Structures are given as structure tokens and as C-alpha cells.
Amino acid sequence: MNLILLGADDLTSQDHARVTDPRRLRHLREVHRASVGNEMTLGVEGGLIGRGRLERLDADSAEFSLTLDRQPPAPLDVHLLLALPRPRMLARSLEHVTALGVKHITLLHTRRVEKSYWQSPELKEDKIRQHLVLGLEQARDTIMPTVTHEKLFKPFVEDRLPALMTPASGTPPRGIIAHPGMPNECPRAVREPVILAIGPEGGFVDYEVEKFMAAGFEGVHLGERILRVETAVTALLARLG
């Protein structure tokens, strides 16, 4: 926990906070080994980052005086279209993606995604939020990503994806699909908005690739090695950023 992320309920005034949930209190005691007078990095969800001085710590709460004076880090201008991974991999992927600065995540059903994955408890709103919070705390960020679910591939690529590719305002994004066997290497340090599509274990099927290409996406690869989804996600986002 490189940042203690505060919610609106934690704020008792503009410059004072009280933390009561067991996870953060346990981290303060066992990892930070915090004591009264210590200063650490805090931030308010959706808001500023700064320093907090620990004024009181007991079994039930920790109280901080706050000096919040910095903006969170700039987001990564990538909308990630991620074929729904298996539940354990989903948890890690959400944390990594959030730590890298992605603010728009669409979990997508594709041919090789097991339908049972959509019934996983990991897709419950509170579970997803837990992983997003861990990613923000790791990266010292406060802006929560949005996560949407698209359980039907064809309606998404035919009806909703075109609107994402041709926004009413702003710079149109560059569509990129990462898939083994594509002709071009993944570009580096892209300075325009990107919509990045990443398939499941085993990749997209030909029909799905064709649909993305018809929507204006370009196909890229990461070299000859076949990577696990969570590794590929991190590698692709690091290159694009």
C-alpha cells in the first residue's frame, strides 16, 4: 500500500480523516508499523494526493490530519477491451491494469471464453472494486477506473464499437488488436487515444479478428513468444505508454 486511499466516508473534515476498516488498519500496523506522528501518503478517491500525519491509532480506528496538494498521475489514454480471463487471472489483471493507469476497461465475451466465467464471484461489483483499489494504492493514484461487461460479442462490435471509434468530440482513437501472427510489432509510446483489444487464452478466433479489422483496428504482435494474458496485458500497456 503505497497510498492510503480515502473515501468520502473517511473524511471528517476538509483536513482530517478517520480510517476504520480492518484491512487498512491491519496494513498500518503490520506493514507500515505506524505510530502516532508518522507521516505517509494519502489521497481522496477522485481527488487530490498529499501527506497525512497520524494523530491517533487504536484497535478500531486511525485518525490523520491531511495536507492534500497534488493531482493524481496522468491516466493512460487506453480503453482496454479484455476478453474475460479466468477468475484468478482476472483479479491480477485488474490490479495490474489499474496500476498502469487505464481508466476504461471493457470485459468482453469471445468464443474461447468459458461461459461459466461470467458466474464467478470475482465479477461482483464489490470484488472488482477491491482489485481496483489495490491497483490505485500500488500506483499512488486516486481516479477509479470504470469497468463494463459485454456478454455478447457481435452486438458489441457491430453496434457499440463503431461509436467508440468515431466519438462525437475529441481525437478518434487508434484501434489495436493484439493477436499472434499479426504482421506488425506493437507500437511504442503512442501519443493518441487507443482502444486495445486483447483476447483470451488461445486468442481470438478468425471471425473475431475479422470483425475488429473491419472496424478499423490494426493487428499487432509482441514477438514470437506466446504469453499468458496477464503478462501480455502488462507488456502491451507498457509499450503503448
pLDDT tens for the chain, 241 residues long, are 899 999 999 999 999 999 999 999 999 999 999 999 999 999 999 999 999 999 999 999 999 999 999 999 999 999 999 999 999 899 999 999 999 999 999 999 999 999 999 999 999 999 999 999 999 999 999 999 999 999 999 999 999 999 999 998 889 999 999 998 898 999 999 999 999 999 998 899 999 999 999 999 999 998 878 888 889 999 999 999 8
- Residue 175 to residues 39, 216, 225: CA-CA distances in angstroms? 43, 6, 23
> What CA–CA distance (Å, rounded) separates 61 from 22?
9
Smallest Cα–Cα separation from 220: which of 208, 236, 206, 204?
Answer: 236
Coil, strand or helix: which one is 114? coil
Buried b (16+ CB within 10 A) or exposed e, 205-226: eeebbebbeebebebbebeeee
Smallest Cα–Cα separation from 97: which of 146, 159, 57, 50?
Answer: 146
Res 227: pLDDT? 80
Show the CA angle centred on residue 173, arms to residues 208 and 236, nearest 5°: 65
Amino acid residing at 40: M
Rounded to the nearest 5 percent, the helix, strand and coil shares of the chain are 35, 30, 35
Res 17: pLDDT? 98
Res 139: pLDDT? 97
**Torsion-angle region of residue 86: left (phi > 0), alpha (psi -120 to 50) or beta?**
beta
Buried b (16+ CB within 10 A) or exposed e, 157-181: beeebeebeeeeeeeebbbbbbbbe
- 99 CA to centre of own chain: 6
Coil, strand or helix: which one is 69? strand
Strands in 45-159 per DSSP E: 49-57, 62-70, 76-83, 102-108, 146-150
